[in-house]
Structure 1
Amino acid sequence: MSSTYSQIYIQVVMAVKGRNSLISQSWEEELYKYMTGIITNKGQKLISINGMPDHIHILIGMKPACCLSDLIREVKKASNKFVKEKKFTKYKFDWQDGYGAFSYSHSALDNVIAYIQNQKEHHKKKTFKQEYIGFLKKFQVVYEEKYLFEWIEE
């Protein structure tokens, strides 16, 4: 009987619609746990999650049968509903369309995890726009600026 063996690590970056700073430190941990549950229930392994009030980084160990776009659509949909049901914010909460997805080797995981866990310190020096465009350039992703996230000039 043959089996499929794989090692697929993807960092997903997704932003709050309009880049509004709506994710409060008072409830971000609950949101992260909820998102972890969604990913785990879909048969994937959440390795690291953290972010800022306006965006989140998620590192996922993925099985090859998983469709990333389906997984992220479900994470966004369910977490949107969760935030609204819990009434975490008095403002309209939605995730922006689109996301960034960047693949890593197993040997890079420690650095990626440290990077994700150090988001708040990291963003004292670099804006989200600088960070995101830096990812696109580092991974040589062809992009058009007009189709990127809505930016708040920081």
Structure 2
Amino acid sequence: MAGTYSKIYIQVIFAVKGRQNLLQKSWRNEVFKYMTGIIKNKGHKSIIINGVSDHVHCFIGLKPFMALSGLVRDIKNNSSNFINDRGFVQGKFEWQAGYGAFSYAHSQLDTVYKYILNQEAHHKKKTFREEYYNFLKKFEIEFKDEYLFEWIE
């Protein structure tokens, strides 16, 4: 019997609506663990999830039976509900529409893992905006500024 074999590694980046600094250190890891559970329950591999107060990086071993857009939708919807149900923020928590998705080879796993692991130190030197623009340019993705995230200056 023929089988399907794949190794698809995707880094997904998405931001808090309005780029508000709402993801507090005191509960951020709890949300990341919850996101890991969503990814695993959908049959994919969560390699690492980390971020700072206004955005998240998810590094995923994606199986080809589900569209990435559906997985990201589920991660964002369910984690928003998780944050709201626990009252982590005043008012309603939401993620911004859209996301960035960037693919990697197996040989790049360690480099990407370390990059995501060190988000706090990284963002002491570079803003999210600079980081995101660098990803788009590095991966040669055409874009229009008006369709990117809402930026806080």
TM-score by length of 2: 0.99
Q: Which whole-Å CA distance do the structure 1 matches of 2:62 and 2:75 have between them?
A: 14
- Alignment partner, residue 28 of structure 2: 28
- Alignment partner, residue 111 of structure 2: 111
Q: Which whole-Å CA distance do the structure 1 matches of 2:93 and 2:134 have between them?
A: 26
Q: Which whole-Å CA distance do the structure 2 matches of 1:108 and 1:20 have between them?
A: 31
Shift of 1:92: 2.7
- Alignment partner, residue 138 of structure 2: 138
- Alignment partner, residue 50 of structure 1: 50
Q: Which whole-Å CA distance do the structure 2 matches of 1:15 and 1:92 have between them?
A: 15
- The answer to whether residue 95 in structure 2 is matched with residue 101 in structure 1 is no
Deviations 1:102-144 (A, max 9, x none): 0000000100000000000000000000000000000000000
- Alignment partner, residue 73 of structure 1: 73
For the aligned residue pairs, the C-alpha RMSD in angstroms reads 0.6
- Alignment partner, residue 127 of structure 2: 127
Where do 4+ consecutive residues of structure 1 move more than 6 Å?
Answer: none
Aligned partner of residue 97 in structure 1, secondary structure = coil
Q: Which whole-Å CA distance do the structure 2 matches of 1:46 and 1:67 have between them?
A: 16
Q: What are the ranges of 5 or more consecutive residues in structure 2 without an aligned counterpart?
A: none
Counterpart of 2:119 in structure 1: which amino acid?
Q
Q: Which whole-Å CA distance do the structure 2 matches of 1:144 and 1:27 have between them?
A: 34
- Alignment partner, residue 89 of structure 2: 89
TM-score by length of 1: 0.98
